[in-house]
Amino acid sequence: MLKVLPWLVIAAVMLVSVLVDTPDGSADPVQEYTYSDFLKMVDAGRIATFDVSPDGTASGDMADGGAYTTRVPVEFAGESVLARLEDAGVEIEAVDNESSVVGALLGWAFTLLPFALIIGFWVYLGRRSGGALGGQLTMGRSKAKVFDTERPTTTFADVAGYDEVKREIMEIADFVRQPERYRRSGASAPRGVLMTGPPGTGKTLLARALAGEVGVPFLSVTGSSFVEMFVGVGAARVRDLFEEARKKAPAIIFLDEIDAIGQRRRGGVFVSNDEREQTLNQLLVEMDGFDPSVGIIVLAATNRPEVLDAALLRPGRFDRQVVIPLPNQEERRAILEVHCRDKHLAQQVDLVQVARGTPGFSGADLANLVNEAAIRAARDEREAITVADLDEAWDRILLGLRGGSNVLLPEERKAVAVHEAGHALVAAHCSAADPVHRVTILPSGQTLGVTRQLPEQERHLYSERYLYDTLAVQLGGRAAELEVFGRGSTGAANDLAMATAIATRMVKEYGLSIELGPVAYPSSGPMFLTDDSMVESRPYADATQRLIDEAVARILGEAQERAVAIVSTHRAQLDALSDRLVIEETIDGRVVYEIAGCDVPSTRPQILAMSQDPDARAVPGADPPSA
């Protein structure tokens, strides 16, 4: 409706102007008389008014209601004519030149008004769109944001951990700021640096910090800003971006999410008007075409390095690839300290324990963890974040919203308690498994219960013994159900899926099976955005797949037999542990080890301690739940 309104206004104005200029057909017509006839009608008393202009044009009203017009010759106009009109009782009025000029101007104004409105309307559209009319002339301009004098406030002090990565990126800035330092040793600056890694590890944050640290112009642009409907626009924007960088050199160009324009070109079919391919070709030319001495370095980031074109990754374009992995335990602690700067923490909160309990968390995940804990504290009208807040935030992020215990039927509560007790008991009797931290039968999200294990230390290598113990723990809940109830249930669905995934990798990738031996069929490429539902190609025959299936089934069968043997041997401990869970709903790891008659792992005695004060509880780990 708003788009049609200007056109309606223009049409209305044009209609009004036409009506003003067009005589009314319903009025009496104006009769034109000669001067002689006019004098006869004056003598006959038929003229009522007489309006005369200096050019001799006269008009007026007749006595019978009509209108007339005539032309008075200048040689006959004079006092005699005026006296004759006065004797006949005619009302005389003279019209000056100024009035006639104003009328003419008004007439011209009404005539030109519609055209002026149309022109003004199109000018308004051109300025408003910025791309439809006048914007088409600037469509090829780059949309890069230039940080020259006004730089982001983010610095490397706001990026915790990743010391090696920051040193690598700062070296890039030194190439630009101090090129003579490297020329003395014969080194040349890299033309491009590609940052890759899982989502949330801080690639864009590192680029923003670099923009705040360096003393050279920093041009930041996203890959999607080059993609347009019109072919050739993206290539034009790439040219304009590098041209602007040359003017400001030395400078750094940052291309965020470069996979939007740098995807692998299709082979076999020649497509001459593909916008993405034209943009990629222009980027390749620009990166390989300018002189490295001008001091321009391209910094790019992506989560999908496996889809980038090979020509883009070769030396001379992106000479360096910096992988930013998930943070380790020490880096997680430093990241947590950064995110807790403006927050109040309770005295019992130990960020070292929080870091130990969050393996696999990215920097964005840790920020979300602290924020969820702060939201919970604000909900309870508290300023300080407690250990209980962090505990609930962990459950909220990984498991989902926690429901009340009354959602389970009594027989379901008993079944869930037996299931979780089986996980905990098998973990306590498997020396290589991760220690039990907490067991609960309170539902969270899609999970009815959780047996949480906390790693003793940051693992980089997994032994065969650790993998077999992990499989036994995963199947401990199903083993407990078979021992107590004599049948299984749907509660072990997630356990079976996780155990099958571990056993499959043991057979296909780790060479830990008798059937295949030391043969590996690993997945290809660093898939940071892995989709398990994707169909993978099989580089082996159907007979090999049959051997893999048999090996996986054997390994899982042996793990279940081992778990059943443990819960059968310690049936009294299983019953005591499940009864305790039904009553208390949540118990900590120390209680599990006391009931199982096992020693608490000596490497972490204080982590398993949970006092009656909820604020003093230890922070949970982040291993995948067992149920």
User: Residues 479, 487: contact at Cβ < 8 Å?
Assistant: no
User: Residues 30, 59: contact at Cβ < 8 Å?
Assistant: yes
DSSP string, 83-98: HHHHHTT-EEEE--HH
User: Residues 471, 512: contact at Cβ < 8 Å?
Assistant: no
Closest CA to 145 of 231, 245, 278: 245
Tokens of 314: 């070769």
Tokens of 626: 């067992």
* CA–CA dist 128, 448 (Å, integer): 56
Strands 320-323 and 192-196: parallel
HSE value, Cβ hemisphere, 13 Å, CA-based, for 485? 17
Tokens of 360: 């696999």
DSSP state of 250: S
623 alpha carbon, distance to own chain's centre: 27
- For the chain, the straight-line distance linking the first and the last C-alpha, in angstroms and rounded, comes to 56
* CA–CA dist 339, 360 (Å, integer): 17
* CA–CA dist 510, 515 (Å, integer): 13
DSSP string, 517-558: -S---PPPS--TT--TTSPPP-SS-HHHHHHHHHHHHHHHHH
Helix (H) or strand (E) holding 453: strand 450-453
Catalytic residue among 244, 257, 331, 420: 420
DSSP state of 455: -
568 alpha carbon, distance to own chain's centre: 52
User: Residues 530, 199: contact at Cβ < 8 Å?
Assistant: no
277 classed as catalytic: no
The number of helices, as runs of H, and strands, as runs of E, in the chain is: 21, 16
SS3 content of the chain, % helix, strand, coil (to 5): 50, 10, 40
- Give the catalytic positions in this structure: 420
